[in-house]
A and B are shown apart, each in its own frame.
Chain A
Amino acid sequence: MTSLPPRPGSTTTQPLRPASPAPRTVQRSWAGVLRQELFASRGDGLVSVLLILLILASAVGLLRWAFGQAQWAVIQVNTTLFAVGRFPIEQQWRLWLLVVLVAALSGTSWGLLRAFPRADRSGELWPFNDRLAVALLGFLAAWLPAALALGFPLQLRWWAITGLLVAMRWIAGHWGRSWPPRLLKLVSLGWPLLYLFGMVLIAGGLGMSRVSPSNWGGLLLTLLMASFAILLSFPIGVVVALGRRSSLPLLRWSSVLYIEFIRGAPLITLLFLGQNILGYMLPGGWAPDRVWRAAWVLTFFCGAYLAEAVRAGLSAVPPGQLEAARSLGLSMPQALQRVVLPQALRIALPAAVGQFISLLQDTTLLSLIGLLDLLGTARTVMANPEFLGKNAEVYLTLAVLFWCCCAALGLGSRALERRLDPTHSPA
């Protein structure tokens, strides 16, 4: 991990820095930063050395376990189960197609983001972070299929997909500026279209055979549930937040009732309610599939919490903004849409993303109602007599997967915050 050697004792010869923080613009060397942050005094130095040793020791222990003792066959054998659950093998080309489309569109969007930099960007085509990301992608494409012991055809597919992503990034980055506006509009429309098409690819339709939701599983189910709930809970949250601040009593009270009902019960209770009570309330066969029921429960659950985040954002917008917009002659919906909501949502964004991340992690509760999400799959795999006692390998893999998804959400939201920040955007 940290390869820099600790330098105890060197601090004593250094003059103490002034109490006031150094101006941010001053360029400091790595060694200087280290000295100030870690070894400013004798006590600091001691604590730093101890902590660094502790971190190194645990890192060495973890690596030794991961590459020495751990038996990763449990992951290698069950790759398909972890990735897509019981999705029929002869239909898995649909998921590959989806991955290809997502890779192509991601590359294009990424390239266009660099081709049309905001004011806060230097406008560099290949900033350091991007080069790092490409290197990381290359490493993953080279290492992951080998580590998972995938066959050569699968390995080739992963290389091709990574190559496609980077190529689209390159093409869009270099020539994106000269693309016709109509094409650019198509790219921004691409994501919602791709989501809908992805749903069709997963569930069936348009001449493709139906794949029952009970056959979805693993990472596919987790991502699908989380993305579905995140996308749909957002409009619900906005509407309910506006409803709660509305002057119409019926609207206000129903919003309050909805929020308080959802917030008054643990998610697992609501999930059990959705799974077991709907069957009593609706005549046989009318209740939607249990996977969809769980998805809607997650959506409404997240919507209630999101509504409160959005309401906080709405409260933070000074009332003068709405009054000014109204006095300029904007109708109420126009004023909300163009003046109040953009400000409120920007304020609510960090809280909302926190909610989304916790929702992603809450999907593990689906395993308790017998759905085969990532955790459910893991529990099944760990029950396999061939892999008894391989809990550490499985849970570590799960932790890494979840960390990647949550980190991606967090990074995305921070980038979005920066782009929405009015102090940096062009006037």
Chain B
Amino acid sequence: MQPLPRRLLALPLLLAVALGGCADDSGSGGGVQSVKLSTIRGRGKLVCGVDGKLPGFSFLGPDGTYSGLDADTCRAVAAAVLGDPAKVEFRDLNSSERFAALASGEVDMLARNTTMTLSRDSAGGNGISFGPTTFFDGQGVMVPVASGATTLQDLNGKPICVESGTTTELNLADRMREQGISYTPLKFQTGDQTYAAYLGGRCVAVTSDRSQLAAKRSSFPKPDEHTLLPEVMSKEPLTPASVNGDPAWADAMRWTVFALFQAEELGITKANVAAKVAEAKANTNQADLRRFLGVEGDFGKQLGLPADFVPKTIAAVGNYGEIFERNVGSGSALKLERAQNRLWTQGGLIYSPPFR
């Protein structure tokens, strides 16, 4: 199955390189060739695979618009490539078809709360190409404040609610065994049952991804009476992805996301990006800012993107911090802490390599 489609995909690629290579040799941008980029430009819109049913990440609201961190990642890339964040066609994908949809070219990119793992990245596995992680998640534990529990040790000998058949269940068992804590797992088939049992007092703690726990907590009758323990039991780096075999497109996506990080680091926001561009144009001494905003240099051209793709992106969706706060942070119903999703300058993991 695998080799044939690859070869079929490679044929137009070769043709495009052969034809485009001679036509576009007039020193314009080091000859960035990407089938995907030209397909997107020809189509006039970016097709972005999302979950669509996960509040905070990608979610279709009553007004018919998508919101969330993943949805805004799609909009950022559309703004960078096409200059317009509205030129996105969102595709709801379920978890079983997401990689097939990406591999077959149904979607240009995936921003679907997908954990980056070795088997998904490797050519021998799903063979997709991951960008920068936009949300570092991990498995957490929620307890009622009244229980007084502050660490996993406090749960010794207590019942814990968990959804059965998930990695969550296995992670819980692993971590508890490592720390020598005994507990009684109460397993449920669905998330709803799990949280109902927790709220009904059948267990003193419930475990799931921390973002999920926070989202559920926001819907509880009294959210303030529940708290997340500081321990994180697993690594779930949620990462946008594109198809293998089109490195130029993967680079364009990767550096668009990095630009969101870098903009936060430089203090460039949706509100002040126009002023910053004017400042960079006026002040020739600010070389870093000028390069980053495309006033100077040819970063855009090297990526096959417009020279002003960074200001366009920031003007459309804001920097990473703004996107985070708006969708999952203090400005949202989820009220997640930035935690490890802070900038590296503040002790977090959000880090952009230099724009040089």
Are B52 and A86 neighbours in the complex by a CB distance under 8 Å?
Answer: no
Cα-based distance from A290 to B97 in the complex (angstroms): 13
Q: Which of A14-22, A236-244, A249-257, A278-286 participates in binding chain B?
A: A278-286
Bound-state Cα–Cα, A284 to B16, Å: 13
Tell whether, in the assembled complex, residue B43 and residue A285 are in contact, meaning their CB atoms are under 8 Å apart.
yes
> CB distance A81 to B64 under 8 Å?
yes
Q: Considering only CB atoms, which chain B residue lies closest to A79 in the complex?
A: B62
Of the candidate stretches B85-93, B288-296, B299-307, the one touching chain A is B85-93
Secondary structure class of chain A's binding surface, majority of residues:
helix
Interface status of A320 (Cβ within 8 A of chain B): no
Among A77, A272, A386, the most chain B Cβ lie within 10 Å of the Cβ of A386
* In the complex, chain B residues whose CB is within 8 Å of the CB of A388: 216, 219
CA distance A276 to B44 in the complex (A): 22
Also in contact, A368 and B106, with CB within 8 A (given A383-B54, A384-B55, A385-B333): no
With both beta carbons as reference points, the residue of chain A lying nearest to B333 in the complex is identified as: A385
A80 to B61, CA, bound (A): 11
Q: Which residues of B contact A334 (CB under 8 A)?
A: none
CA distance A386 to B104 in the complex (A): 36
Interface pair B55/A385, CB less than 8 Å apart: yes
Given A81-B60, A372-B60: A385 touches B215 (CB 8 Å cut-off): yes
Tell me whether A283 and B8 are in contact (CB under 8 A): yes
Asked if residues B106 and A276 are in contact (CB atoms below 8 Å), the reply is yes
CB-contact partner of A370 in B39, B91, B219, B334, under 8 A: B91
CB A159 to nearest CB in B, in angstroms, measures: 25
B5 interfacial by beta-carbon distance below 8 Å = yes
Expressed in whole angstroms, the minimum distance between the Cβ of A236 and any Cβ of chain B is 26
Residues facing B in A310-337 (CB within 8 A) are none
* A385 contacts B219, C-beta separation under 8 Å: yes
Which B-chain residue is minimally distant from A367 (CB atoms)?
B92
A10 to B1 CA separation, bound complex (whole angstroms): 75
How far is it, in angstroms, between the C-alpha of A77 and the C-alpha of B104 when the chains are bound?
Answer: 37
- What's the least CB distance linking B311 to chain A, in Å? 28
Residues of chain A within 8 A (CB-CB) of B53 are 379-380, 383
Is A355 interfacial (CB-CB < 8 Å)?
no
Interface residue? B201 (CB, 8 A):
no
Hey, which chain B residues are within 8 Å of A276, CB to CB? 97, 100-101, 104, 106
Bound form: Cα–Cα A24–B89 in Å = 62
Residue of A nearest to B52 (CB): A380
Which residues of chain A come closer than 8 Å to B216, judged between CB atoms? 388
B-chain residues with CB within 8 Å of residue A85 when the two chains form the complex: 64
Contact B93 A383 (CB under 8 A): no
Evaluate contact between B104 and A214: CB separation under 8 angstroms.
no
Q: With A277-B104, A388-B219 as given contacts, are A284 and B60 in contact (CB-CB < 8 Å)?
A: no
Q: A214 contacts which of B12, B35, B91, B334 (Cβ < 8 Å)?
A: B91
Q: Does B218 contact A (CB under 8 A)?
A: yes
* Binary contact readout A269-301 vs B (1 if CB under 8 angstroms, 0 otherwise): 000100111111001110000100000000000
Residue from B91, B92, B93, B100 having most chain A Cβ neighbours under 10 A: B92
Q: Would A77 and B35 be within 8 Å (CB), given that A280-B8, A370-B94, A370-B97 are in contact?
A: no
B105 is an interface residue with CB less than 8 A from chain A: yes
Contact partners of B100 in chain A: CB under 8 A: 276
Using known A-B contacts A284-B105, A388-B219, determine if residue A376 contacts B59 with beta carbons closer than 8 Å. Answer: no
- Confirm or deny: A212 has a beta carbon within 8 angstroms of a beta carbon on chain B: yes
Number of interface residues of B (CB under 8 A): 39
A288 to B94, CA, bound (A): 20
**Chain B residues whose C-beta falls within 8 Å of the C-beta of A80 in the assembled complex:** 62-64
Residues of chain A lying within 8 A (CB to CB) of residue B54: 383
* Nearest A residue to B36, CB-CB: A284
Question: How far apart sit A284 and B15, CA to CA, in the bound complex (Å)?
Answer: 14
Distance from A363 Cβ to chain B, minimum over Cβ atoms (Å):
16
Q: How far in angstroms is the closest Cβ of chain A from B11?
A: 8
Per-residue CB contact flags for chain A residues 1-40 toward chain B (1 = under 8 Å, else 0) read 0000000000000000000000000000000000000000
Nearest to A284 among chain B residues (CB) is B105
A285 touching B39 by the CB < 8 A rule?
yes
Chain B residues near A123 (CB-CB < 8 A): none
B307-350 with Cβ < 8 A to chain A: 333-334
A279 contacts B104, C-beta separation under 8 Å: yes
* Nearest Cβ on chain A to B195's Cβ, whole angstroms: 9
A86 touches B215 (CB 8 A): no
Bound CA span A126–B290, Å: 79
A69 to chain B, nearest CB (A): 15
Of B43, B91, B104, B215, the most chain A CB neighbours within 10 A belong to B104
Contacts of B63 in A (CB 8 A): 80
What distance in Å separates the Cβ of B56 from its nearest Cβ neighbour in chain A?
Answer: 8
Write out the residue numbers on chain A whose beta carbons fall within 8 Å of the beta carbon of B219.
Answer: 385, 388-389
CB distance from A399 to the nearest CB of B (A): 19
A376 touches B89 (CB 8 A): no
Closest A residue to B215 by CB, please name it.
Answer: A385
B-side residues, CB < 8 A to A, are: 4-5, 8-9, 12, 35, 39, 42-43, 52-55, 59-65, 89-94, 97, 100-101, 104-106, 192, 215-216, 218-219, 333-334
Question: Top 4 nearest A-B pairs by Cβ distance?
Answer: A279-B104, A370-B92, A86-B64, A388-B219
A/B interface sample: 18 pairs, CB < 8 A: A78-B62, A80-B64, A81-B64, A275-B97, A276-B100, A276-B104, A276-B106, A278-B104, A280-B8, A283-B12, A285-B39, A368-B94, A370-B94, A370-B97, A371-B92, A383-B53, A385-B219, A386-B333
Known pairs A80-B63, A87-B64, A280-B4 / 15 extra A-B pairs, C-beta < 8 Å: A80-B62, A276-B104, A278-B104, A279-B106, A280-B8, A283-B8, A284-B35, A284-B105, A285-B39, A370-B97, A372-B92, A380-B52, A384-B62, A388-B216, A389-B219
